[in-house]
Amino acid sequence: MFIDQVTIEIKAGKGGDGMVAFRREKYVPNGGPAGGDGGRGGSIVFEVDEGLRTLMDFRYSKHFRAESGEKGMIKGMHGHGAPDKRVQVPEGTTIKDAETGAVIADLVHKGDYAVVAKGGRGGRGNIRFASPKNPAPEISENGEPGVERKIQLELKVLADVGLVGFPSVGKSTLLSVVTSAKPKIADYHFTTLSPNLGMVRLDDNRDFVIADLPGLIEGASVGVGLGIQFLRHIERTRVILHLVDMNPEEGRDPFDDYLKINKELKNYDPELLERPQLIVASKMDMPGAAEQLEAFKKQLAEDSTVEETPRVFSTSSITREGLQTLMNVAGDLLEETPMFPALNLKEQEAQQKIYDFEKEQEKSAPDFVINRDEDLTWVLSGEKLERLYQMTNMDRDESLMRFARQLRGMGVDDALRERGAKSGDIVRIDKFSFEFVE
Ligand SMILES: Nc1nc2c(ncn2[C@@H]2O[C@H](COP(=O)(O)OP(=O)(O)OP(=O)(O)O)[C@@H](O)[C@H]2O)c(=O)[nH]1
Ligand SMILES: [Mg+2]
């Protein structure tokens, strides 16, 4: 199995700001508060799309944002919430926090989804702050910022297409030419000991995973050579590309090779021969290869054991002849070939785990942190405190006073005093400074 992974950044939408407004009606001289709440910011939701097979698309777009909620309005009207941003991933995608490596969600089956970054809550309008003591409050909240995080997507891939053939027919070389994989290539047999995988991206953006499998020899199905390992992997590939070496220097009979490999496949599992198979004539750049291919095609056409003569593609990994056509046809065949109903991958990971990350983080992080700058300013930070700050409308005195009360409630004043803060010292949160008062 091969792991396709990519790191991306996501940012949920900020909540809309709450509004400060008052009713102005003809016969009501001093109307009550009438500022509505802001709407919720859009969340970032990941969901399974059965049609996807790889994470290739994320190599080109790595940033996802959801929109902010609308602001609250006059006459008590609430702002509209922003729609969630839905991001499609293939079945079997694990989402991890890129910094901690902790698993956020395993999207295993069709229909699975996870809210990975929550949109901010809308800020409350001044209607919500009215009380008998303060019937006309000039307080509103700003919208809560949306969650922003770096995540890693990970997909365990099974190959869609398998390359089979005798040792040294050029399977690894082909893989290295049609994908960015760098398998070991050499002119001795059994260079490849375990499968290499790579991703093919076609011009029309379709993509699939292709595996270079260890060479097969006669008797593989009863355990000769690396046969058994090979066969375990081939079970999972949907389309088979059968490479036949046309280089006459090898001194082999291509048609005989072809029959032998098919016999091994059949001995292992007769169903393997029912999978779509394309014949790939390899090393066609070699002198004499064309004649070999002619002879091969003739024998193939005369073969009475098959109803339909399989398609043969003339290729060279050196000149790249025929490779693009071959990949396109393989892509078409994949579309017609059903997925396996029950992959082991799913059985193993059938349990969907979605953790509530925000809660976990809130539990561990302190409400606020106090530092001191070189110029002796006290600097306050910390996630909870900063969120409170961002949700405070600093343009209104009443909001500011509420903020001061909230800080006191969190224990900020006591903590500052303990650290030695004196009346008149400057305290700063982000860009906002105020004087400490005993
Ligand atoms: N002339 C020519 N030589 C090729 C071509 N493709 C592969 N070769 C050579 O054939 C030899 C074997 O290539 P590999 O890609 O390692 O073959 P393989 O099928 O992966 O072999 P195993 O891993 O041993 O099963 C190497 O020396 C390659 O350079 C081709 O298209 N033309
Ligand atoms: Mg190889």
Q: What is the pLDDT of residues 305-316, one digit of tens each?
A: 777 788 999 999
**pLDDT tens digits, 231-244:** 666 766 889 999 99
User: Is 188 a residue whose pLDDT tops 70?
Assistant: yes
The rounded distance, in Å, linking the Cα atoms of 143 and 25 is: 28
Q: Please work out whether the CB of residue 437 comes within 6 Å of at least one atom of ligand 1.
A: no
| Model confidence pLDDT, tens digit, residues 321-338 | 999 999 999 999 998 887
Which residues lie closer than 8 Å to 156 by C-beta, 6 or more apart? 1, 2, 3, 92, 94, 345
Cβ of 167 closer than 6 Å to ligand 1, yes or no, is: yes
Residue nearest to atom 1 of ligand 1 (CA): 283
Ligand 1 atom closest to Cα of 286?
1
Measured in degrees and rounded to the nearest 5, phi and psi for residue 243 equal -85, 130
pLDDT over 90 percentage in the chain: 52
Q: How far is residue 181's CA from residue 109's CA, in Å, rounded to a whole number? A: 28
Using the structure block, give the residue that is written with the tokens 């019937």.
135
Between the alpha carbon of residue 72 and those of residues 123, 201, 297, 385, the distances in Å are 8, 47, 75, 23
* Distance from Cα 248 to the centre of ligand 1, integer Å: 14
Is 190 a pocket residue for ligand 1 (Cβ < 6 Å)?
A: yes
Which ligand 1 atom sits nearest the alpha carbon of residue 319?
31
Query: Residue 316: CB within 6 Å of ligand 1?
Result: yes
In the beta sheet, which residues pair with residue 3? 156
Quote the CA–CA distance of 60 and 73 in Å, as a whole number. 39
In percent, how much of the chain has pLDDT > 70?
88
Q: Hey, which residues does 313 pair with through a beta bridge?
A: 280
* Ligand 1 atom showing the smallest separation from residue 192 Cα: 23
Compute, in angstroms, the gap from residue 185 CA to the centroid of ligand 1: 6
Q: Is the CB of 283 under 6 A from ligand 1?
A: yes
Find out whether the beta carbon of 323 lies less than 6 Å from any atom of ligand 1.
no
**Alpha carbon 352 to chain centroid distance?**
16
- The whole-model pTM stands at 0.64
Give the per-residue pLDDT at 343: 41
Structure tokens at 78: 């609430």
For residue 284, the CA-to-ligand 1 centroid distance in Å is 12
Look at 233 and 82; give whichever has higher pLDDT. Answer: 82
Q: How far apart are CA 323 and CA 177, in angstroms?
A: 9
The residue to mutate among 185, 188, 226, 321, having the most atoms of ligand 1 within 8 angstroms of its beta carbon, is 185
